[in-house]
Structure 1
Amino acid sequence: MNFIRPEARRAIWQWREVLVAIAVLVVGAYWAISTGELLRWLGYVVLAVGIFLLLSGVQRGRFRGNQGGPGVVQVDEGAVAYFGPLNGGVVALREMNSLTLDPTGTPAHWVLSQAGQADLYIPLNAAGAEALFDAFASLPGIRTEFMLAEMGRSSARPIIIWERVPDLSKLH
């Protein structure tokens, strides 16, 4: 028997890292305020860890959207795979040229481009799409806050989130 409504369960699951961070912050604050000297310093360390977890959790919570979209996403060994009802494919993160957010589709989707392959379109609400946050965060020079801000906006055109900078040292 479930005592929590499904929409409340989804909200708790979406913001789970934030809830854990709040618990860590409460323990750290308690130790920092109401204990002896040794636990006080440990409380300050726990508070710092809690703040880091909170900031990271807020980013992850913002990245997660509604689930139930078409297809399944898997991230494995530096490759992003999408298995959709009409299309699919695999893109190696090391070989990726650009990441674009295309809000014009229904649902909105990510466009992963790799030289020599067709672009891979992944709906934002595909099953397993939350794993893309860590995959995208590993791209060199990506601006995570910019990506999250663009996900929250409604735009009439695709937005380039990240592009690979050409390595000019290989020219000589």
Structure 2
Amino acid sequence: MSFIRPEVRAIFLRWREALIGAAVLLLGLYWSFGVTPGLLTWVGYLALVLGAVLAFAGMQKGRARMGGGGPGVVQVVERRIGYFGPLNGGMVDLDAVTSLSLDPAEHPRHWVITHEGGPALHIPVNAEGADALFDAFASLPGLSPGRMAATLKQEGRKPIVLWRRADLSKRIAQLH
């Protein structure tokens, strides 16, 4: 039996990292300015910095979190993305990814991951476990987590390319 309504629980789960960062930030404020000077004051300054970083990262992650309940299941294990959907699916190594885009024309919107040696993998943004994709995509060199979160809020009909592997861009430039 839970004393928290499901809607409130969903909000807490969506913003959990930001809430933890805010709690650490408040603890750091108390230790820095509310306690007599000493060693705890310096630990408070460290907690302030750590809390601010956690809150900032949690805000980005919370903005990108779409919740579950969509078609299929996503797993990210050791830099390998797996999607198991009702009609399609597949596995992609992050090192083999050539480009990442968001297709807002599909319902629900889909991440489109192109990779070497296979067809593109289409993953709904609200698939069960799709929250793990945020951290996986953030490990791609040069891809900003803030840009991912902002792109999820954009409306449109054309696919938005978020990231393309550097050597792939050079090859495309040579073709033109």
Please give the range of the TM-score, normalised by the shorter of the 2 chains.
over 0.9
The Cα shift of 1:38 comes to 1.6
Counterpart for residue 173 of structure 2: none
Q: Please list every run of 5 or more consecutive structure 1 residues that lacks an aligned counterpart in the other structure.
A: none
| RMSD of equivalent CA atoms | 1.2
Tell me how far apart the structure 2 counterparts of residues 128 and 144 of structure 1 sit (CA, whole Å).
18
The Cα shift of 1:92 comes to 0.9
Counterpart for residue 13 of structure 2: 13
Which of structure 1's runs of 4+ aligned residues deviate more than 6 A? none
Counterpart for residue 101 of structure 1: 102
The Cα shift of 1:39 comes to 1.2
Counterpart for residue 127 of structure 1: 128
Tell me how far apart the structure 2 counterparts of residues 155 and 128 of structure 1 sit (CA, whole Å).
25
1:116 is paired with a residue whose SS is coil
Amino acid at match of 2:114: S
Counterpart for residue 91 of structure 2: 90
Amino acid at match of 1:27: L
TM-score with structure 2 setting the length = 0.92
Length, aligned pairs only = 168
Tell me how far apart the structure 2 counterparts of residues 32 and 52 of structure 1 sit (CA, whole Å).
17
The Cα shift of 1:116 comes to 2.4
TM-score with structure 1 setting the length = 0.94
Larger mean CA deviation between 101-110 and 159-168 belongs to 159-168
2:91 is paired with a residue whose SS is strand
1:5-60 residue CA offsets vs partner (Å, 9 max, x unmatched): 11111110000111111111111000101222221111111100000000110111
Counterpart for residue 29 of structure 2: 29
Tell me how far apart the structure 1 counterparts of residues 117 and 30 of structure 2 sit (CA, whole Å).
56
Counterpart for residue 156 of structure 2: 155
Tell me how far apart the structure 2 counterparts of residues 146 and 45 of structure 1 sit (CA, whole Å).
28
1:25 is paired with a residue whose SS is helix
The Cα shift of 1:66 comes to 2.7
Tell me how far apart the structure 1 counterparts of residues 105 and 34 of structure 2 sit (CA, whole Å).
54
1:53-93 residue CA offsets vs partner (Å, 9 max, x unmatched): 00110111111113100000001111101000000001111
